Amino acid sequence: MIEFKIGVLIGACAVLIIWGLIYWRRQWLESYIMEEEAPDGDYKVILRKRSAYQKIAVAENNGVYHLFADGSEMFSTDKAEDQYSEAIVHIPMAAAKTRESVLIIGSGVGNTAREVLRYEEIESVTAVDLDPFIVEMGLTFEPFVNFTNGSLQDPRVKTVLDDGRKFLEKSNDRWDVIIIDLPDPSYHTPELSQLFSVEFYRLLKSRLYPGGAISIACSVVSTAPEYLAAIRATLKTAGFHVVPYHWDYIVEFAVDWGFCLATLKPVDPLSLEPLIPVKHLTEERLEDMFLLPRYLRVEWDEDEVQTDRNMLLAEILEGEYLIEKPE
């Protein structure tokens, strides 16, 4: 009987250890690829690395490669990435009077630089990113290099490893087009709030040529439409004319991305069209992009803006900033 009880106890302990290891492994994996962000179906994780700034993972699924940072997907070699790149690049390029110099803050592995380099007028692209490992992947990881046409290797591209704000504070250069493609600010990364603040946008204004244009990625607005409204208000406070737009992935990918076009003079958005051949920005799509659906037209106090001293955008994304939506 004693032997039996000991055996049961040992067995129970073994089960607890196994379940503990399974739970630990799952938590560890989720820190690299969150379950809700994982590719559909079976996928293979081919790389995990903790860089100086974040946990990086690359997964492959049916020939598509997905790049994750701290569990969230930041890039993939698929149609959705092509659509996103066209939306964030070709709208400001069409709005700007000239397109000789472009600044990309949050250049990543080079997908936005790829689209920028398609313009013959381009003389220089300044690609700023904080994480050297991400940039290195854009330069050397074959699936990414193939997808971006080796954009970061182009002699017209100057890669800068720095925080985007610190870089601008040290630089006196100006650009025709500025593209801001950054992760969402959060309580986990509070420093990112200062790359969405009215103080930062005023700095951008001083670095933009008079006929220039800026595009800013505004997260998945299908889950947080107030986020787009807050960024729009912040840009207006900084002195920009702002046109919000969106790319509705709902049918294919179940998300809707928001963007803001910021200029120093008013722009008629319905007059904008790509200046070079593109795959996805059709005439019908362009019209839809600038006609915001009802759920994105939230009421917003124009005095509620992101500053260097608050966490407004993080509060919105965390669901802690409550606003009464119109009926």
Q: What is the DSSP letter of 71?
A: B
Direct distance between the N- and C-terminal alpha carbons of the chain, in angstroms, rounded to an integer: 70
CA angle 282, 283, 284 (to 5 degrees): 90
* Interatomic CA distance for residues 327 and 228, integer angstroms: 19
Is 181 a known active-site residue? yes
* Interatomic CA distance for residues 230 and 312, integer angstroms: 8
Neighbouring-strand partners of residue 45 = 59
Residue 152's Cβ-count burial label (10 Å; 0-12, 13-18, 19+) is buried
Neighbour count for residue 188 (Cβ, 10 Å): 8
Asked if residues 197 and 165 have their Cβ atoms less than 8 Å apart, the reply is no
> Which of 70, 154, 181, 184 is flagged as catalytic?
181
Compute φ and ψ for 261, nearest 5 degrees: -100, 120
CA angle 313, 179, 83 (to 5 degrees): 90
CA angle 184, 145, 185 (to 5 degrees): 5
Asked if residues 231 and 296 have their Cβ atoms less than 8 Å apart, the reply is no
* Interatomic CA distance for residues 252 and 254, integer angstroms: 6
* Interatomic CA distance for residues 227 and 300, integer angstroms: 10
Residue 232's Cβ-count burial label (10 Å; 0-12, 13-18, 19+) is buried
**C-alpha separations of 25 from 29, 69, 75, 247 in Å:** 6, 18, 24, 36
Q: Tell me the catalytic residues.
A: 181
